[in-house]
Homo-oligomer: A and B are copies of this chain.
Amino acid sequence: MSTPSLDFMQRALVLAEKGRGSTSPNPMVGAVVVRNGRVIGEGFHLAPGADHAEIAALRKAGKAASGATLYVTLEPCCHTGRTGPCTDAVIAYGIKTVFAAVKDPNPAVNGRGIRILRKAGITVSTGLMREQATLLNDKYFGYHRHRRPFVILKTAQTLDGRIATASGDSRWITSAASRRFAHRLRAEVDAVAVGMGTVRSDNPALTVRHVKGRNPYRIVLSRSLKFPPACRLLTDNKDYRTIIAGGEDAIERFSRTKKGRNLILWGVRLNRQGMPQIRDFLDKAADFGLQSILLEGGGTLATAFLKAGLVDKYVLITAPILCGQGVAAVGDLNIKKLGDAIRFEHGSFETCGIDNIFIGYPQRS
């Protein structure tokens, strides 16, 4: 077996990134065909229906792929979706060695691609830059591992952890650079969700405006469904992408009102406190086919998801301002000791304009 090269896998990861925001429900994938230490073909997956990364790279390499090595950021697929199985192509082109960063968690693949290649006499090795390859497709991995949408909580706060002043002023806490960053996040998820407090105070459109990208589904998760008079999420719905999730009875009543027209309605079970059950909500979202949901506010929604242990990724944008008493970013989590505080894996702080962005994955306790 040839010695694996981090450089080629790194290149494949860079290629994979080119699909960011357009591949869902497929993962981002990059592939590099190498012969005698030289790249002879490269490819990445751009969108559902387009070539898979391996196919694109093999096609570029052509006949020279025979006997060559393939670096790919994800196990090659072995099922026929809109395109044929990649394993067939890898075998047909005569690839001798495959370095796949990580096994595909999709139950339709999940190691079968590797077995098929090995059966055909190809040397297959996994694990090279597995961590980076997994983080690259965190939403895809989360979705297939937990069989529910990957939940990203995004909060924009002051240095002292406030999302609004005591009187409710929240526009704008963060800088224009951070708002662009937030819109890129929107463009990469299947849906954006807010609670009724945010609907009332911000009347958000939840569309992608500051960057290029597709609009996600827009979800309001609320017990009461008491919408304010003029509400963009109800009126600006030409694409029929607004989803209203609430208590089953409330949804039933809402469906019979004028406001409820042309909306996607989900009845969600309530918990003992009379609030929508987060897990039931996510089950509904999974049934609908959502692979990822971005929670954009406010504190009540954030707290409910955190308390339920159902936040998979936390994105916290902090602006360099202090406002003192105000609306807290996170409410009561029933944590008494610092030892029980929520900690993060792969946590990192990055600068964004004058703001700071923390990204981390809450540890499962």
Contacts and interface: CB of A to CB of B under 8 A. Distances in A.
Interface in A146-181: 157-162, 164-167, 169-173
Contacts of A331: 324-325
Contacts of A262: none
Contact of A341 (B158, B161, B336): B158
B165 A337 contact: yes
A316 interface: yes
Interface in A320-358: 320-326, 328-338, 341-344, 347, 349, 351, 354, 356, 358
Interface in A19-42: none
A304 to B, nearest CB: 12
B349 A322 contact: no
Interface of A: 157-162, 164-167, 169-173, 303, 306, 314, 316, 318, 320-326, 328-338, 341-344, 347, 349, 351, 354, 356, 358, 360, 362
Q: Which 5 A-B pairs have the closest CB atoms?
A: A161-B161, A324-B333, A325-B332, A321-B341, A322-B342
26 contacts: A157-B160, A158-B341, A161-B329, A164-B338, A165-B337, A165-B341, A166-B332, A170-B338, A171-B338, A172-B338, A306-B322, A306-B324, A318-B318, A318-B349, A321-B342, A321-B343, A322-B341, A323-B333, A323-B338, A324-B331, A325-B328, A325-B330, A347-B354, A349-B356, A356-B356, A356-B358
